[in-house]
Chains A and B, each alone.
Chain A
Amino acid sequence: MLDTSVGAAGEGTGVGHDGFITLDGVEKVFQVRRKAGLLRRERHEVRAVDGISFQVARGEMVGYIGPNGAGKSTTIKMLTGILTPSGGRLRVAGIDPSRERTRLAHRIGVVFGQRTTLWWDLPLRDSYRLMHRMYRIPDRRYQENLDRCVELLDLGELLDVPVRQLSLGQRMRGDIAAALLHDPEVLYLDEPTIGLDVISKAKVRQFLKELNAERGTTVLLTTHDLTDIEQLCRRVMVIDHGRLMYDGSLAGLHEVGESERMLVVDLERELPAISLESEGAGPLARVVKVEGPRQWLAFPASASAAPLVARIAAEYPLMDLSVREPDIEAVIARMYEAAAP
């Protein structure tokens, strides 16, 4: 991908092309037993991951998205060595995760968005001390890494607070720091911004960006928030039904998915649907809903909102406006529609 407009991370950090994370036809099949009658059970197969192949270079920052149950978590679990693949070949930093799980653990950091690994009743600092000793991090490195995380994640005043008293956003920042004290080369983040307020989200994103730029840490994140991807990842992979549907830039995804953004405008008074004619190129946007003075206009996600807003402001009594980004489910749904014959 030569697209440089998306994401600012990763520049000049020695991004290699060595396929740091390599998946080759990786499969994961679950045998599910379902009750059929009183004692009889039916067995059937669920292909959670159905032949996925991709490579991630060292220092890349990649978004891994898809609807619930698409196979995202299963992939992450195979990449961390929690689950053993049913087929295919998988390597992280040259290590087969399922066979050398403990060895790999020293080189990866994992943040599960909804499951904290911090100690509930103890000050944040104590959880970090445990990491220090469990991972046998040399004292100086530990201190340096901790100082850095404390500074960039704004944890200074939280170190001596019991974790149960932290807010969700503070705890997430605490969890991210805990995953980075042993200098992992790869960081897996599973929904790192889920449930966070706007400010916490911004802090987390800023930190990840700097981590990737300064340390060249490879980052793979799953998310439901397209803004995460927009701000962090040049590359996005879409998975659904266990298959890789798309691998490329976010802008490209919007094109493939023909996704639309929504401009919501409040006019001074109730007016008929806005109609804007452009020279020869068809309408700039189409009105999808009118509700009193408020109107919803859909326009291509790849287009800029500025000229559209300018036209409306020039021709209509505009009071207020907002732009809504498409959500992942909608983008993927449209991708299917586009692919279907």
Chain B
Amino acid sequence: MAETVAVRPGPEGSREPGGSAYFAYEERPRVLEGLRAYGLIVGMWVRSTMAYRASFVMTTFGNLAATAFDFLTIVLMFTHVDALGGYTLPEVALLYGVSATAFGLCDLLLGSMERLGRRVRDGTLDTLLVRPVPVLAQVAADRFALRRIGRILQGLAVLVYALATLDIAWTPLKVAMLPVMVISGAAVFGAVFVAGAAFQFVAQDASQVQSAFTYGGATLLQYPPTIFAKDLVRGVTFVVPLAFVSWLPTLYVLDRDYPLDLPQWVAFLAPVVAVAVGALAGLAWRAALRTYRSTGS
């Protein structure tokens, strides 16, 4: 940690005018400061969780079990049909695994942002605004819940099952696509979380709208695009680009036809889309925070 030397002022107050009293303030890159603060606050929440260890173990297990039922539903479906929208069980499992892991990652890292509306309503957001670290980092880390790791574990398990069962003609590009799509998928979901939080400054009870896109979107992506109406697929490709989370990259790995007759290279746009929507969400957040600070509501 870079620290400047502390000088204790005498009783007469030997402070330099305009300068900070005891240690100089250093301008630091906001992104790094934000990540550092995020880590500090997450650490506090993890320790808070560990104050109730038994409860943590049980809720993590519960989380894992609850999400596992999700996939069991799909397995049960396949006991009656051989294919869903032209996709076999292992193929659907791959779609499911990618989407669930990406969403799980995002849910673990940013999942409590939907509580922002409550903080705005009861005024506790103000206590975050007087701290010397970015508000977004503080809100993102707020009520960090380690138990959400259960969802990631479940997603990874399904992913491993799919990869073990599927007979894929692997190429270096396909191998590289796996981590890329999980990480950029998590980033796309993250952008939705941040944009949703920004919207909660305006409409404080909007967390349900946000859930429609996050939890709803994650569920949607667990099924093949062929079973949905064209307009819905268009919406999640071009408006809220959730299709880039798992559909397009996974279909590339599976050598399947894309929905909407999209060219094959669009699968590689996933990281680009992730960065773009992330930037948009960041701008929305800044605008929303500015509005809050000028209206106080």
Contact = CB atoms under 8 A, between A and B. Distances in A.
B295 A112 contact: no
A93 B18 contact: yes
A14 B21 CA distance: 14
Contacts of B6: 138, 140-141
Interface residues of A, number: 50
B47 A138 contact: no
Interface string A76-103: 0100111110100000011000100111
B11 interface: yes
A107 B20 contact: yes
A77 B295 contact: no
Contact of B294 (A59, A83, A112, A141): A83
Nearest to A31: B295
B59 to A, nearest CB: 15
Contact of A84 (B15, B47, B133, B293): B293
Contact of A82 (B18, B133, B293): B293
A216 to B, nearest CB: 5
A141 B25 CA distance: 15
Contacts of B269: none
Given A138-B23, A183-B22, A84 B294 contact: yes
Contacts of A121: 48, 51-52
Contacts of B47: 122, 126
B263 interface: no
Given A82-B293, A108-B130, A122-B51, A136 B20 contact: no
A91 to B, nearest CB: 11
Contacts of A13: 11-13
Nearest to A28: B296
B126 A112 contact: yes
Contacts of B132: 102-103, 105-106, 134-135
Nearest to B129: A82
Given A30-B296, A84-B294, A214-B11, A122 B22 contact: no
Given A82-B293, A84-B293, A122-B51, A77 B13 contact: no
B112 to A, nearest CB: 15
Contacts of B295: 30-31
A328 B160 CA distance: 69
A135 to B, nearest CB: 6
A254 interface: no
A77 B126 CA distance: 8
Nearest to B5: A138
Interface of B: 1, 3-6, 8, 11-13, 15, 17-18, 20-23, 25, 27, 37, 40-41, 44, 47-48, 51-52, 123-124, 126-127, 129-134, 290, 293-297
Contacts of B21: 107, 183, 185
Nearest to B122: A115
Given A137-B23, A183-B22, A74 B11 contact: no
A234 interface: no
A126 B46 CA distance: 12
A257 to B, nearest CB: 30
A93 B290 CA distance: 23
Interface string A40-80: 00000000000000000011000000000000001001001
A81 B48 CA distance: 30
Given A115-B124, A136-B3, A162-B51, A14 B296 contact: no
A31 B296 CA distance: 10
B123 A115 contact: yes
A120 interface: yes
Given A18-B17, A112-B127, A134-B40, A141 B51 contact: no
The 7 closest A-B pairs by CB, nearest first: A105-B132, A14-B13, A121-B48, A183-B22, A14-B12, A82-B129, A138-B6
22 contacts: A30-B295, A30-B297, A31-B295, A74-B296, A80-B130, A83-B293, A94-B17, A94-B18, A101-B129, A102-B133, A106-B132, A107-B21, A108-B130, A115-B124, A121-B51, A121-B52, A122-B51, A134-B37, A138-B4, A141-B6, A183-B23, A216-B13
Nearest to A110: B130
Contact of A115 (B5, B48, B127, B293): B127
Contacts of A214: 11
B40 A133 contact: yes
A106 B20 contact: yes
Contacts of B41: 130
A200 B12 CA distance: 30
B44 A122 contact: yes
B140 to A, nearest CB: 15
Nearest to B45: A119
Contacts of B13: 13-14, 16, 58-59, 216
